[in-house]
Amino acid sequence: MDPLIITVAPVGAEVTRAQNPNVPITPEEIAEECYRAWNEGASLAHIHARDRDGNPTQDPEAYREIIERVRAKTDMIIQVSTGGAVGMTIEERVRPVFLKPEMATLTCGTVNFGDGIFTNSQRDMEYIAGVIKEQGVKPEMEIFDAGMIENAKKLALKKLISLPGHFDFVMGVPGGISGDPRNLMHLISLLPEGCTWTVAGIGRHELSLGAIAVILGGHVRVGFEDNIYYTRGVLAKSNAELVARVARLAKELGRPVANPSEARKILRLS
């Protein structure tokens, strides 16, 4: 079994300081959260950016500052989001990819996202996949429901992505696949042979699905983008606190945590 890759998703596009005062907003704060998470065992940073008012932005300069600050203090794999926020244009969402990070997300379908609709038409997916490929960046296929794996396979047939690849199962978003462990087993069963996978459990599903992933040989994403609580009703103090819990759990279960160099080999980045 490969060592465990822990991804930290420190902010996302939706969570606010009104929900948790520890949410990082500025590039300095986001980079510091990544640094603290790296010290606890995170090897991959899933990056969203905010403007100075705390609103989600896909401004490449905001991403550039975050990336430079993270790279100055860590050797983490940098993964930018092409999801942005609900309502952004495809052209806007893809802008950070032109910074040529090691990885970028590729959402493989449309999903109801709470009260909004996160739109990813076939044309949208092909456009983003094409930009990712042209820039020499590795995609992480974001899966919010089972049919999205089939969409990824179609992209592979069109030579827009390569398989086996790396998938992230985002489970528990209202409107997407639920956090039922049976759904995780189903998603794993649909993957093409040789693919690697991470699970991002939303809210209360973060820890339970993460524990299952540790046992099954998958990988785990945690962070304020997905969950702002440490336990029921108790806000997490930092992203690092959530990373440390997964690392501690992996140790108890006898699975080593990957450092960034090991993670790059697992993800075929080196």
Cα–Cα distance, 228 to 177 (Å, whole number): 20
* Distance in angstroms (rounded) separating the CA atoms of residues 81 and 104: 6
- Torsion, Cα of 176, 229, 185, 170 (10° steps): 40
Ramachandran angles phi, psi of 215, nearest 5°: -70, -40
pLDDT at 129: 98
Residue 93's pLDDT is 97
Decide: 34 and 42 in contact? Cβ < 8 Å: yes
- Write down the pTM of the prediction: 0.97
Give the model's pLDDT for residue 115: 80
* Residues 6 and 220: beta-carbon distance below 8 Å: yes
What tens-digit pLDDT sequence spans the chain (270 residues)? 899 999 999 999 999 999 999 999 999 999 999 999 999 999 999 999 999 899 999 999 999 999 999 999 999 999 999 998 888 999 999 999 999 999 999 999 999 987 889 999 999 999 999 999 999 999 999 999 999 999 999 999 999 999 999 999 999 999 999 999 999 999 999 999 999 999 999 999 999 999 999 999 999 999 999 999 999 999 999 999 999 999 999 999 999 999 999 999 999 997
Contact 101, 137 (CB under 8 A): yes
pLDDT at 270: 75
Domain boundaries, the chain: 6-266
| CATH class assigned to 6-266 | alpha beta
